[in-house]
Structure 1
Amino acid sequence: MLAYRHAFHAGNHADVLKHLVLVQVLRYMAEKDKPYRYVDTHAGAGGYLLKGQQAQKTAEYREGINRLWSRPDLPPLVADYVRLVQEFNLQPGEDGVQPVLEKGMTPPLALYPGSPSIARQLLRRTDQMRMFELHPTDARTLAAHFGGNKHVQIFNEDGFAGLKGQVPPNPRRGLVLMDPSYELVGDYGKVIAALREAVVRFAEGVYMVWYPQVSRVESAQLPKRLMALSPKGWLHVRLTVSQPGERGFGLTGSGMFIINPPWTLHAQLKEVMPFLVETLAQFDGASYVIEEQPA
């Protein structure tokens, strides 16, 4: 499936949830001195121009990161995530000069980092990155921005199939992010199949799965299917911000399912999810769910 391009959806409410959780898990992984491997099975282009034609077609970022961008009252964990996005917006321009802001100023919101760029800001020199992207244009963009580092490998391949060759890592510490587009209904089954095999090979790994909240039975069933294959503990968080359209379709929210989550994550999310609901809600029934089975 090569039609999907994440640029149309960059910075929306689903990205906010996904990357807020990703930041906290990455920070937890870095608390130990031992290096680890970060695997992104559906890496995308790595970064997106919000003023570009694709992002402007739907302008979904306006109901996502834009609602958080300049707020002075962000909870610390949300502020941490937003600060990383702001730092991504301070990249050097075409003239090679990096913008300089006076203390307390917020840069204009022009760019949104994909998951690889979020990870690169938090990974250490000794940590490894393995990124898979099937779309040839996005894979070339990734290579242009991430190439030249001996700890980074980029594959223009199917991430579902490629995950098998990445686990277990050496040393045996790893974090996997799996966030396909799910435009093909078969992606739900591929998530389960790829993770089932990965967990058998590397049971102690941390696995993060993003999924869309849409009017499909496969979407509703996915968290329970993931619970069934989790060998130890798991955490599931879901954010609902809008109602389906008149025909019953549309992205009403999204969820993150983490196998072997950090023990700190439940309390962190319990603290910030009410704020995200209030800030990102597009209707009165906006809500969140947090479920957990400790290891």
Structure 2
Amino acid sequence: MNYRHVFHAGNAADVMKHAVLAWLLDRLRAKPAPFFVLDTHAGIGRYDLDDQAARRTGEAVRGIRRVLSRPVDGLPDCLSPYLETIRSLNAEGGDGDPIRHYPGSPWLARSLMRPDDRLLLAELHADDVRTLRALFQGDRQVSVHHMDGWLSLKAHLPPRERRGLVVIDPPFEAPDEYERMVAALAIAHRRWATGQYLLWYPVKDRATVWRFHQMLEDTGIPRMLAAELCWSDDDRSDRLNGSGLILVNPPWKTQETLSTMLPALQKALDAGIGPVGCHWIRGEDGSTAL
């Protein structure tokens, strides 16, 4: 599977992932102490939905464009940080298209930061690095590093800030990406056990997801919550059936919030076929639900 961001910007998986990310960032900024964000596979930061790569798949039509066509009063408040960031980004364009530009995780993070917060972006593709550097040129709160995202976890953790979030969203180009993700999380957590972590994974066949969750449980890392939003039954492994997230050290009331957010997104996406919800892989006391 190749899930480079530029070809899938604004699709249903992005909507789910970025809505949760924006809510987590909004919770971080609710406390006065500065926070740090590390994005290990940053992409280009911001996407033009009229670009050839995005138009080739047209996935935003069934993703963010569909969500934004819904009445605002029909969506829960927990989606506000995400939707307001998108509207703010597109209000700057003035070209009449309500959603021409889509914010990747770097843009979302930067938009929700305060003056003392800090963002570090790691990206391996040279062209994407040049685009990122141009996008955040002169911004002292953002640093862009041309490096393997997995290595960035060793190089940049722990941060000087005591609070923060690590976003791990690989393109799933390698066949052992699940194993690499689990190993990387274990290393990162040993270096910064109090940080929050958000890991994205594709939901294709259920057996692969079960094995992935079991590998995570076997690390012994406490406070791991799994969340999924699926738009197809996972009886076929030759397609993307849904979007999954692993949240480590999630803030208070995360499970309650996602229990409202995810069904609302599924409805807004007209994706009411597959399963949706969240459960603890390991609870706060280290207990398992598997």
Give the TM-score normalised by the residue count of structure 1: 0.88
Residues 61-97 of structure 1: per-residue CA shift (max 9 Å, x gap): 11111111132122222243222111111235xxxxx
Partner secondary structure for residue 237 of structure 1: strand
* C-alpha contact (below 8 Å) 1:36/1:127 kept by paired residues: yes
Q: Post-superposition shift, 1:109?
A: 1.4
Residue matched to 1:253: 242
How far does residue 224 in structure 1 lie from its aligned partner after superposition?
Answer: 2.8
SS in 2 for 1:289: strand
- Separation in structure 2 between the aligned mates of residue 263 and residue 61 of structure 1, nearest angstrom: 31
In the superposition, relative to structure 1, how do residues 216 and 45 fare at CA in structure 2: closer, same or farther (>3 Å)? farther
Say which is worse superposed, 113-122 or 23-32, in terms of deviation: 23-32
Question: 1:6/1:100 Cα in 2 relative to 1: closer, same or farther (>3 Å)?
Answer: closer
Task: Tell me the amino acid that sits aligned with residue 279 of structure 2.
Answer: E
Q: What is the Cα deviation at residue 149 of structure 1?
A: 2.2
Q: Distance in 2 between matches of 1:66 and 1:79?
A: 16
What residue is the counterpart of 2:84 in the other structure?
83
Alignment counterpart, residue 274 of structure 1, candidates 263, 266, 280: 263
SS of 1:125's partner is coil
Partner residue, 1:262 = 251
Q: Offset of 1:24 from its aligned partner?
A: 1.0
SS at match of 1:153: strand
Q: Secondary structure at the match of 1:238?
A: strand
Query: Counterpart of 2:155 in structure 1: which amino acid?
Result: G
- Give the structure 2 partner of residue 144 of structure 1: 134
Gaps of 5+ in 1: 93-98, 102-106
Q: Is residue 275 of structure 2 the alignment partner of residue 287 of structure 1?
A: yes
SS in 2 for 1:26: helix
One-letter identity of the residue aligned with 1:189: E
**Does residue 222 of structure 1 match 2:206?**
no
Change (3 A) 1:9 1:33: same
Q: Could you tell me how far 1:212 is from its partner in structure 2? A: 0.5
**Compared with structure 1, are the counterparts of its residues 58 and 76 closer, same or farther at alpha carbon in structure 2 (3 Å cutoff)?**
same
Q: 1:184 to 1:281 in 2, by over 3 A?
A: farther
2:288 corresponds in structure 1 to none
The equivalences for 1:117-156 within 5 A come to: 117-156=107-146
Q: Would the aligned equivalents of 2:206 and 2:234 in 1 still touch at CA under 8 Å? A: no
Query: What's the CA shift for 1:201?
Result: 1.1
Native 8 Å contact 2:203 2:234 kept in 1: no
Q: Distance in 2 between matches of 1:207 and 1:78?
A: 19
Letter in 2 for 1:191: M
Q: Distance in 2 between matches of 1:150 and 1:248?
A: 44
Equivalent of residue 111 in structure 1, options 97, 101, 116: 101
> Corresponding residue for 1:104?
none
Amino acid at match of 1:78: L
* Identical counterparts, % of pairs: 38
Q: Give, in angstroms, the shift of residue 281 of structure 1.
A: 3.7
Give the aligned partner of residue 15 of structure 1. 14
- Output the amino acid matched with 2:247: I
**Which letter does structure 1 place at the counterpart of 2:185?**
L
- SS of 1:71's equivalent in the other structure is coil
Runs of 4+ deviating beyond 6 Å: none
Could you tell me whether the CA contact under 8 Å between 2:67 and 2:265 is conserved in 1? no
Deviation at 1:125, TM superposition (A): 1.2
Give, in angstroms, the shift of residue 29 of structure 1: 1.0
Deviation at 1:232, TM superposition (A): 2.6
Structure 1 residues 48 and 202, CA gap change in structure 2 (3 angstroms): same
User: How many positions carry a matched residue from both structures?
Assistant: 281
AA in 1 matched with 2:202: P
CA RMSD of aligned residues (A): 2.2
